[in-house]
A and B are shown apart, each in its own frame.
Chain A
């Protein structure tokens, strides 16, 4: 007996190894049931049967009936029930299926039980996956003598059997061809749909694989990055000890043996000392930078103006001789880690002052506005500015736009700014023209409700 049990099998199995169309064709077993929505296909074929009046079925190459409509009682109640006539049915099915396997696009067959069947192949990605059958009709009025014999031979209930024979439609050869043509076309449409679906499944699968791969890779990179940061941190930290010793011993040398050194000797010792200081600042800055990535963030509402004044007062205290002026415009309150945002202010203001002419008043403007889901803040100075060609270097650790020595600092301040702002989920960027000052912008997301 032909069974439908295969129809409900788990889908996806076909597409799991497939990456694209070519590979799909090369995949060993495409299962038609994986490509179609069986209930809607069944509904479509039921409708076709109602209009056309001829039984149909889609049967895969393993003999699993995927859909069937309008099968004749003659077949379902008699021929396919009796083991002997059923063997003939299977022979007929097999013969038709074989002609499909041989690559024919259409076959018609008079079954051994006296009815006519036709078949068309369903081909997906060049692979023959199923056949669509129609049949269980006569092209000429039935040979009643044959069915009488048949009834006796297989001990069918003769009157009822003959009634079933009478219900089998008689259809002209012409109409058979037209109907079969329709089914053949339908088979092609189904095949095309199936192929699309297969491609879609493959694309979904490869997208899923890619996403999974990406997530895994991201995780690995994050872990590697954390490890690297940890390493940088301990290394920077440990470098301070010998550095302190170098500085200490060169100072002692100056103090205790200085009298024996000539001017050049003293100059060389000073150079040692100066470079130790520089390296010390670099290490401190790098530790500060790394600490900003490790620090646990404590969110709260921030009065940015008050924070800026605080930072500004600190900077003025550190450079009492300089004339500094901070102009604060409209400023929306921020939501973030106060100490970290304070660091941002300190670095941006210090930067603005550093690159303003030392002999004139350093005027810095700060303002901000709400835009969409975030606040944008601006720090504008009237300093030397920078060449926009180097804007990418600005926010990188130890990268400097101006030569070392010209302006103090190790080139970590803006990297710290970027790190803090990005940890808040914001962005930072800068605009400038040489000699016309610079404007630094940063955004902070507003509090999520």
Chain B
């Protein structure tokens, strides 16, 4: 059993500070922000997920339970982060929700091809945004429990 305090429930990958702050506030309102880690680019996201770089030594079993991923990111793109998560046995089962302002059909198709779990386009209105983000947390953290089978 892991130490409850080390478990990361949500990894938020978002380079726009305002979007990140608003997302975190929206999640906090629903009580989902207690175990949230925010990284600002795709490289940091991969380091965190795969316990490398400054996150070396972190137990992969400590989550995250869900990744909220922006697509337009510095260094490594969101699509690439998604590809790496879904391409690795150890991380494949982590739900990834693409959270972006892009409604580009190309992105959407690419993400579904790579096995994205959900795709949410950020609404402009904050109330709507809060609602969507809140429901997102509710769905992926409470309702949609991922298969618990860890590699033996």
Give the interface of A toward B (CB within 8 A): 237, 240-245, 247-252, 276-277, 280, 283-284, 287, 291
Contact = CB atoms under 8 A, between A and B. Distances in A.
B125 A241 contact: no
Kindly list the 3 A-B residue pairs having the minimum CB-CB distance in the complex, ordered from nearest.
Answer: A245-B18, A280-B124, A248-B126
Contact of B18 (A249, A251, A276, A277): A249
Given A240-B124, A277-B125, A245 B103 contact: no
B14 to A, nearest CB: 11
Interface string B16-40: 1011011001000000000000000
A16 to B, nearest CB: 48
A341 to B, nearest CB: 19
B126 A244 contact: yes
A244 B102 contact: no
B118 interface: no
Contacts, number: 53
Nearest to B16: A241
A242 to B, nearest CB: 7
30 contacts: A237-B101, A237-B102, A240-B101, A242-B18, A244-B18, A244-B122, A244-B123, A244-B124, A244-B125, A244-B126, A245-B16, A245-B18, A245-B19, A247-B124, A247-B125, A247-B126, A248-B18, A248-B22, A248-B25, A251-B126, A251-B127, A252-B22, A252-B25, A276-B124, A277-B125, A280-B125, A283-B124, A284-B124, A287-B103, A291-B103
A56 B15 CA distance: 92
Interface residues of B, number: 16
Of B18, B102, B124, the most chain A CB neighbours within 10 A belong to: B124
Nearest to A247: B126
A210 B25 CA distance: 63
A280 B126 CA distance: 11
Contacts of A284: 124
A252 B25 CA distance: 9
A169 B147 CA distance: 118
Contact of A244 (B19, B25, B103): B19
A285 B124 CA distance: 13
Interface in B104-142: 122-127, 129
A163 B22 CA distance: 117
A85 B19 CA distance: 104
